[in-house]
A and B are shown apart, each in its own frame.
Chain A
Amino acid sequence: MAVTRVFGARIKRREDPRLITGTATYTDDIVIPGMCYTVIVRSPYAHARIKRIDVERARKHPGVVAAFTGKDLEGKVNPIPCAWLIPGSDLKTPPHPALAVDRVRYVGEGVAVVVATSRHAAADAASLVEVEVEPLPAVVNQEKAMQPGAPQIHDGVPNNVAFHWKVSSGDVGRAFQEADVVIRQRMVNHRLIPNAMEPRSCVAAYNRGSGDLTIWMTSQNPHIHRVLLSGILGIPEHRLRIIAPEVGGGFGSKIPCYADEAVVAFCAMQTGHPVKWGEDRRENYLATAHGRDHIVDLEVAAKKDGTITAIRGTCYANLGAYLSTAAPGVPTILHGLMMCGPYTIPNIDYEVYGIFTNTTPVDAYRGAGRPEATYYVERLVDMVARKLNMDPVEVRRKNFIPKDKFPYTVATGITYDSGDYEASLETLLRIIDYPNFRKEQEKAWKEGRYLGIGFSTYVEICGLGPSQVAGAVGFQGALWESALVRVHPTGKVTVLTGASPHGQGEETTFAQIVSEELGIPIEDIEVLHGDTEMIPMGWGTYGSRTTAVGGAALFVACRRIVEKGKKLAAHLLEASEQDILFEGGRFFVKGAPDRAKTIQEVALQAYLAWNLPAGFEPALEATAFYDPPNFTYPFGAHACIVEVDPETGTVKIRRYVAVDDCGRVVNPLIVDGQVHGGLAQGIGQALYEYAYYDDFGQLLTGSMSDYAVPKASQLPPFETARTETPSPHHPLGLKGVGETGTIASTPAVANAVVDALQPLGIHHIDIPLTPPRVLAAIRQAQGR
């Protein structure tokens, strides 16, 4: 039977039928008999001492089953842990109670929970909880929080500094002394709110007889949640089952282990009722981790010819009120180590202060540290070009790591696996017809129109990652991935992956990989994920690791199937194992292709076990735990063309072209989708999105009416293209593509706006480039 080649094919997604017919099951769709509803009561104060929390009135409300405060949880629900303890940084990990007991530290922190038989009763009862506090001064800005006299948020964390981390290499001082040009610039990479369309929710069901607790939850990594919640709730890991059903996007915000799910599980255990909780969007803005939020002082040293010799910087990273699960690693390991970009910058000196403030905790948000690094580096490169009156494209070329130097260890100490940066840039320039654009721009400028182009040539670290490295950098877990491939007696296949996709399409791409490797029609393959009871231990979906690491595990498992199948086929065909070849789903004897068994026939025999070779175990399945030897480093070149309305400051994107290289491509349709979505979020940061706290710690952008999640009409059509530089260490040459668009696009837009405004002598405007902000820069430049 001929099998169509599916690896690399534009195949429409297999998860879609249920999603387009409204028959998919998201967490909030789950109903269990006897289920109650919970509402978590949250602090309206950014910083306060709790004097009294009274849930009596709430308890008496009709329909209310229970109400608890932080005191009720003491000794029963352990503090929420941080799971990335970066070494050598004097990291402080103050306790994070599941519900606040004596102090609240940000608006949105849980202080009580009510459980009721209906959604309406729970909402009404929540409004009856009385909270009496003594307000304390709050601090929301990380620099202010470090100042002497600032409100102290945690005991034992002087000046609110949670950690101080450094990466340093080469002779930076000398590089600056010998530089022809030095540019200093303060930049802000502002706070964002992830805004997965599905808010977080969970359903917890506890069986008092068996002691089994099941939690359906909006999770990107159910196994990590099982380990952490097992510790928080004191439930043995084998009694705890985490299920991530359909998950409506995460973008990092469904990685952390939050207090809320632990509180809801506690309610289920205490009341014996299954309980459901779901945040509304307002809570999502307050209680789900935010992203980014840096202030950084940067310096770059360069030679006259455009060679960049050093980068120096001090970054102040706002961590919010508590250490979220991966928070310390994001502005350090995932950020600081990427400060060389795709360039041969030999000297680097970069330090990061992680600082507590009275704001929602900050954690990984799409790109997680790499967008910030790329933004800084790409802005600096443009500044160098401007200062030297060079073309920004030339400065990039000058500093690119040449393609024959890979694997290449950059000054921060990490080793890029492969790259051909010139190739992606060349492709980009061809698509945009660069020389022509510059002519058009000259003409526009003469007409008083502000047309600009911005480039972003980026590299990112993904495919997280080698477990030894994870350990060395303090991640309290491993980063290998699991795959189980089960060929059933009828030749159908079930794949279990420890990754936990939530929109990325691996039910399709993984089936493509299996179909390619085993020669089994894709229709006969099903990919399952997101249930700790059924799936071997795995580490989830984030850091563009699902295909990069999970896909490699899958490849290895498939190879094991083939190896086992060969043994049985040899036996059945009465040939020697060495003479058995496997291709297109057929085991056959070398030189005698007609002497063959299909994989389906072999599978059936493996299960029937009537006639197995000696020592051959029945069944045909294989499990692989794949620990990657290195990270993967996708890269690419993006260009954005904008026109700025000098009267209103409005930025209009006229063209956006993304050339990405994520190694080999399993499904181009899905890769395009990943790039597009990433672009929307990166452009969102550049132009529209920002979280804003007032000095009292109130989030003033706390709804979708205030926080601008980009709309269809606010984004341009996207043009995408690819180059293909396989990862040398990945068995399929894959790299990962989930975050490239976000990482690359913010600086492309920012560079374009500054480029457009060149005639006004504007050198930098902090993002987000909202019309008022751009106009203010224009008017300042015009001396008005």
Chain B
Amino acid sequence: MIPAAFEYYAPATVEEALQLLRELGPEAKLLAGGHSLLPMMKLRLSTPKALVDIGRIPDLRYIREEGNTLAIGATTTHWMIESSEVVRNRVPLLAEAAGRIGDVQVRNMGTIGGSLAHADPAADYPAAILALEAEIVAQGPRGKRSIPAAEFFKGLFTTALEPDELLVEVRIPVPVEKSGAAYLKFPHPASGFAVVGCAALLTLDGGRCQKARVAFTGVTEKAFRDRAVEDALTGKAPDEKTIASASQKAAEGVEPLSDIFASAEYRKHLAKVFARRALMAAASRAH
């Protein structure tokens, strides 16, 4: 499979990249790790006239601790996140989600910015990003702006990014002490994408859930936070019974995806099962 011809630009800075985006217009696409874009181009489902390779911008690849926030550059790879001591210690949920993406080779090339901007409904990061209440920093001709994760995913392969904007950073508030989190996933047997992925984060206070965050990927056309489950846990002790009953509320009122592998009904059912399992794991880690 051969992609259609295109022009290639490798800017050295974010500013250059933005400049190129402006000049080349909507027929240009950003290339990060390429693991979402290139397969589409090889099938000629995507035929951009130009690629702007942001993979060579050194300033976009970093993991930094800034007080109680973890700042991750857009082209930081899944492997860097999965294996980073800082991430594993401070935001283990993100490392866990990163480690469940695709396979070793995909994690070596794929980037957090590329994955989030692509907004595949079955990608792993979105659930974690939502549960962690991360902020996504976009940079464009009008400067930088910060988009809360809950407002970032707009629909199938659609985000709040403007066409002339570049996702430059993901900012993750480090969960406070007595928090526990887990990302559990039911992978598609072939693609490895999430049929259902559930990220759960619990913060305890005196044995009760001071905060509960539950987010799903794979279930519907965009990742979402499930407030019904969260509300059913808030203020309660996360025991088996409470979690089981809260999990029953998962994915109610949403319209699940359906495909030849898993029906909407199956996805909805899995969402409840995985909510419970992820919450139980999160609760066991919250101390």
- The verdict on A700 contacting B260 (CB below 8 Å), with A124-B4, A127-B44, A705-B190 known, is yes
List chain A positions with a Cβ less than 8 A from chain B.
119-120, 123-124, 127, 280, 282, 647-648, 688, 692, 700-701, 704-709, 714, 770-772, 775-776
Chain A residues with CB below 8 A from B191, complex form: 705-706
Chain B 1-22: CB-based contact to A (< 8 A → 1; otherwise 0): 1101100000000000000000
| Contact residue among A120, A688, A692, A700 (Cβ-Cβ distance under 8 Å from B2) | A120
Q: Does B263 contact A (CB under 8 A)?
A: yes
Could you give 18 example pairs across A and B, Cβ below 8 Å? Answer: A120-B5, A123-B1, A123-B2, A124-B4, A127-B4, A280-B1, A282-B43, A647-B273, A688-B189, A688-B190, A692-B260, A701-B260, A704-B190, A708-B189, A714-B189, A770-B261, A772-B262, A772-B266
Smallest CB-CB A-B distances: 9 pairs: A708-B189, A123-B2, A708-B190, A705-B191, A772-B266, A280-B1, A647-B273, A692-B260, A688-B189
User: What 18 new A-B contacts, CB under 8 Å, besides A120-B2, A123-B2?
Assistant: A120-B5, A124-B2, A124-B4, A647-B273, A648-B270, A688-B189, A692-B260, A705-B190, A706-B191, A707-B190, A709-B190, A770-B189, A770-B261, A772-B261, A772-B262, A772-B263, A772-B266, A775-B266
* B208 sits at the interface (CB 8 A): no
When chains A and B are docked, how far (Å) is the Cα of A707 from the Cα of B1? 18
What 1/0 mask marks residues of chain B from 262 to 275 whose CB sits below 8 Å from any chain A CB? 11001001100100
Nearest A residue to B2 via CB reads A123
B interface secondary structure, majority: loop
CA distance A709 to B44 in the complex (A): 24
**Chain A neighbourhood of B270, CB < 8 A:** 648
Q: Which residues of B contact A280 (CB under 8 A)?
A: 1
Does more than half of chain A's interface fall in helix, strand or loop, or is it mixed?
A: loop
Bound-complex Cα distance A145 to B88 (A)? 57
Distance of A700 Cα from B259 Cα, bound (Å): 10
Specify which chain B residues have a CB less than 8 angstroms from the CB of A705 in the assembled complex: 190-191
Task: Give Cα A127 to B44, complex, Å.
Answer: 9
Please, how many angstroms separate the alpha-carbon atoms of A464 and B260 in the complex?
Answer: 38
Rounded to whole angstroms, the CA-CA distance of A688 and B190 in the bound complex is 8
* Chain B residues closer than 8 Å to A688, beta-carbon distance: 189-190
Task: Give the residue name and chain of the B residue nearest to A784 (CB).
Answer: B269
Interface, chain B (partner A; CB < 8 A) = 1-2, 4-5, 43-44, 186, 188-191, 260-263, 266, 269-270, 273
Number of residue pairs spanning A and B whose beta carbons lie under 8 angstroms apart: 44
Between A648, A704, A770, A776, the greatest number of chain B beta carbons within 10 A of the residue's beta carbon is seen for A648
Name the A residues within 8 Å of B44 (CB-CB): 127
Q: Which A residues lie within 8 Å of B260 (CB)? A: 692, 700-701
A705 to B260, CA, bound (A): 13
**In the complex the two chains form, what is the Cα distance from A280 to B191 in whole Å?**
18
Taking the closest CB of chain B, its distance from the CB of A590, in whole angstroms, is 65
Give complex CA distance A648, B269 in Å: 8
Closest CB-CB distance, A449 to chain B, in whole Å? 16
B190–A775 touching, CB < 8 Å: no
Cross-chain contact A119 with B189 (CB below 8 angstroms): no
Most buried by B among A647, A688, A701, A707: A647
Find B1's partner among A124, A282, A714 (CB 8 Å cutoff): A282
Q: Which residue of A has the minimal Cβ distance to B43?
A: A282
Chain B residues with CB under 8 Å of A119's CB are 2
Cβ-defined contact, B190 with A706, below 8 A? yes
- Complex CA gap A308/B270 in Å reads 42
Complex: how many Å from CA A253 to CA B273?
41
Minimum distance in angstroms from B247 CB to a CB of chain A: 11
CB distance from B25 to the nearest CB of A (A): 23
Residues of A within 8 Å of B186, CB to CB, are 648, 771
Candidate in B191, B260, B262, B263 with the most chain A CB atoms within 10 angstroms: B260
Chain A residues with CB under 8 A of B266:
771-772, 775-776
